[in-house]
Amino acid sequence: MKRYALLPLITLALSACGGGEGGSENSTQPSALSAVEGKIENVSGSAITVNGQQFQVGSVSYRNQSIPASILAADMNVSLNTGARAAMSAKSGSDVQLDPTFTGKITEIDPKLGTFKVSGVSLTFSNLSNQIKNGDWVMVSTLPTANAGYKVLSVIKFGYDADGMVEVEGRISDIDFNNKSFKVGSSLKVWFAGADINNAKKLRNGAWVEVFGRTQENAFGVEAVTAEKIMIKSFSGVNGRGEIEGIVTWVDKDYSRFEVNYRGIFEIHKSTKYDCEDGDICNNYSLREGMEVEVDYVANAKGNFAKEIEFEDDSDVDGDWDKFEFKMKGYADNLDDTELSFEIGGVKVYTDNNTEFDDELNFDSIGNCRLEVEGVIINGDHVAREIECEDD
């Protein structure tokens, strides 16, 4: 079934063309990466700059449908496959994949306040184009903020087909396996009965999901989204070197690991390098929740390992992040094998794909010792990031 209008395929190859380290035309840095993910910093002719590296624009797509390259603009989130096969031949270069947080109909625009809704989610963006009107179909790129919020980077108008589905991304909260529903963001309800889920066992509170479905509307606007497809997003699909730009959403108490965009944990090693603006001195102890970073990493079966962390000079770190962290100690009880949750002192704690179990623990054995737990709070849900036995 057609969901998006088929548009002419742009056949230019995607290949690195300088930028990054030294800006040399012969630089091998981009081709050594297998995946690049971040926002477009600049568009110049048929080239885009992502994470400080310039790439010749290749075919552009969204959900496996060809999109004209003319849609590309600064601050759009994209992902690029820059594997060895693509680097070997300019004629077989890879696709630039658009990676928005939301697609859907824009409503309730207030130009004075810079507020609007997309698929029922309230957003704020002071630079919204006056060419975008209520009822237009838009593509919104964002970064996460504390407590299930969104920092809007760009809002782009694009062609819409009447058979199209909306897309919403966000952190799951208030999941109900009996009613087959959960919330994305702070309030949008998603019904998932019958949905195609890429890893149903990991569908639980705290997971970052990409939902494709159809809106349910009432007299007041969008009431909910009925999901047809749900993707649990992480960095596990990368095999080899990757690069991600995003927001630090959690830092381990001993600064040995950290999380980016709620989607994946990165381990820090002695060999990890750090790049700071203006010649400042920085290291792993410089990491803070809410910071914007670029991470060059290596992914394998054991996890994601940070090769280099670049601290962005325009990072906007506010106090909100501290309000949505928790640390607790105690014995686990009331274990729930369906939700993969437990309680400490009457507080329910959820685990998700990014929960790290130390001291050879796993969910089934957390009752064997007094625990130390730290994590984040999303819409009132306590989600563990690290669980370990309390030191004697």
- The pLDDT tens digits for 132-149 are 999 999 999 999 988 778
d(CA 176, CA 165): 23
Within 10 A of 35 (CB to CB), how many other CB atoms are there? Answer: 21
Quick one: pLDDT at residue 312? Answer: 83
d(CA 168, CA 300): 29
- Pair 42, 73: CB distance under 8 Å: no
74: three-class secondary structure by DSSP: coil
Quick one: pLDDT at residue 146? Answer: 84
Within 10 A of 268 (CB to CB), how many other CB atoms are there? Answer: 20
> Whole-model pTM?
0.84
Per-residue CA distances from 231 to 4, 5, 172, 227, 386 (Å): 19, 23, 12, 11, 24
Beta carbons within 8 Å of 218's beta carbon, 6+ residues apart = none
Which stretches of the chain drop beneath a pLDDT of 50? 1-31, 84-93
**CB neighbour burial string for 299-324, b if at least 16 within 10 angstroms, e if fewer:** beeebbbbbebbbeeeeeeeeebeeb
Residue 311: name the closest of 334, 290, 325 by CA: 290
Residue 188: name the closest of 234, 125, 137, 122 by CA: 122
Quick one: pLDDT at residue 192? Answer: 97
Within 10 A of 126 (CB to CB), how many other CB atoms are there? Answer: 9
DSSP string, 291-346: -EEEEEEEEETTEEEEEEEEE-TT----THHHHTEEEEEE--EEEETTTTEEEETT
- Pair 137, 159: CB distance under 8 Å: yes
Tokens found for residue 239:
């095999």
Quick one: pLDDT at residue 32? Answer: 64
